[in-house]
Amino acid sequence: MRDRAELERHLEAALSPCAMRASDSRGRPHADDEPPYRGVFQRDRDRIVHCAAFRRLEYKTQVFISVLEGDHHRNRLTHTMEVTQIARTIARALALNEDLVEALALAHDLGHGPFGHSGEDALNEVMQGHGGFNHNLQGLRVVDKLERRYADFPGLNLSYETREGFTKNLNPQGRAQYGFTQGESPPLEVQLVGHADEIAYDTHDIEDGLVSGVLHEDGLRDLALWRETEAAVLDEQPVLEAEQRLRWRSVVRRLIRTLVGDLMAETEKRLSDSNVRSLAEVRTSPRELVGFSLGLEFKKRDLETFLHSYFYNHAGVRKHTALWQERLKDIYAAYLKDPSRLPPDHVKRVDKEGETIERVICDYVAGMTDRFAETQWERYCKA
């Protein structure tokens, strides 16, 4: 059996000089014995997969409210697995730290509440004046405080670098407030997972949109990215002309390949253009080093604008998301009116942890799955 030091040496020998190494990790918030045969980031990944917030992703909305609209679409767990798969592929090809990338990708949506972005908007609205709500910062709360599995510390006690995945929207002061060094860029692994997330949801939302009948191929053909990708697919396999669903899936698959390929080529170009040759230089580089080429970035934005107009804001999709956006606010209000409706452990956090009752309720509601939120609405809010 190889011990941790030997395993890390073996893995690190194959990494790019710009990659994050487990042996260079800035460690965990609380003292913790490292296990004999797992690296720091491997252990982060295991802790994430075993936590309750991770299991609940299965019953949280990605775009469709799954319980109402069939079982074929993505939920937040399947989305998370797709992001992880894309991110690991890119990490391995660029010789970046695949263990860290896996942990980051598996954790990236842990802070999402029920009902997707409408749920986030609802919680942010009710929390105005009490610190607001943002799914990235909520992810940090989940892994730092809300998960309770260990006697010695709250949360999962993840490494600095895995926790850094939640800092995307933080300004320099915000970084300092959460214990991250100000004025530094995140490692390439962190930058990469953000883009893998975009690749996954852009392409898979198109597929879910087409299969559900909300989106139409004719509309997509107005987009250069779709048109060019479809032409390339049909050029190779003209038989797909007559196979609608297989055609959609083939175009989506090739689109992922195009985006992944462009991201890898552009990232290598930026590293070489900026003369970045070490992790320290990544940290001090003011420029985002992982990204798409300008040409593809524009086409990708057109696609995202299209998805916003015709998918996320489609009347049929909005009907349900808007309904649950309102109902989530009702649920929050029902707990605020009578906090004894919360499980006793949660109420105690006000005295034990110095949290406001508003924040405790927000944490509790954000932790709900779609279906649990529905039962709570039926119980406390249904007239």
CB 8 within 8 A of CB 2: no
Shortest distance in whole angstroms from residue 34 CB to Mg ion: 29
Closest distance to Mg ion from the beta carbon of 108 (Å): 5
Q: What DSSP string runs through 182-204?
A: TT-PPPHHHHHHHHHHHHHHHHH
Shortest Å, Cβ 289 to Mg ion: 21
Beta carbon nearer to Mg ion, 196 or 279: 196
Specify whether the CB–CB gap between 86 and 260 falls below 8 A. yes
List CB contacts of 131: < 8 A, sequence separation 6 or more: 359
**Toward Mg ion, which CB reaches closer, 259 or 361?**
259
Using alpha carbons only, give the angle 106, 193, 278 rounded to the nearest 5 degrees.
120
C-beta separation of 111 from 166 below 8 A: yes
Nearer to Mg ion, 147 or 197 (CB): 197
Q: Which is nearer to Mg ion, 86 or 328 (CB)?
A: 86
Where does this chain bind Mg ion (CB under 5 A)? 109, 197
CB of 126: closest distance to Mg ion in angstroms? 23
Rounded-to-integer distance, Cα 133 and Cα 65, Å = 21
- Do 130 and 358 touch, CB atoms closer than 8 A? yes
Q: Please, which residue, 124 or 274, has the CB nearer to Mg ion?
A: 124
Residue nearest to Mg ion (CB): 197
Q: What are phi and psi of 171, to 5 degrees?
A: -80, 175
CB of 190 to Mg ion, least distance (A): 14
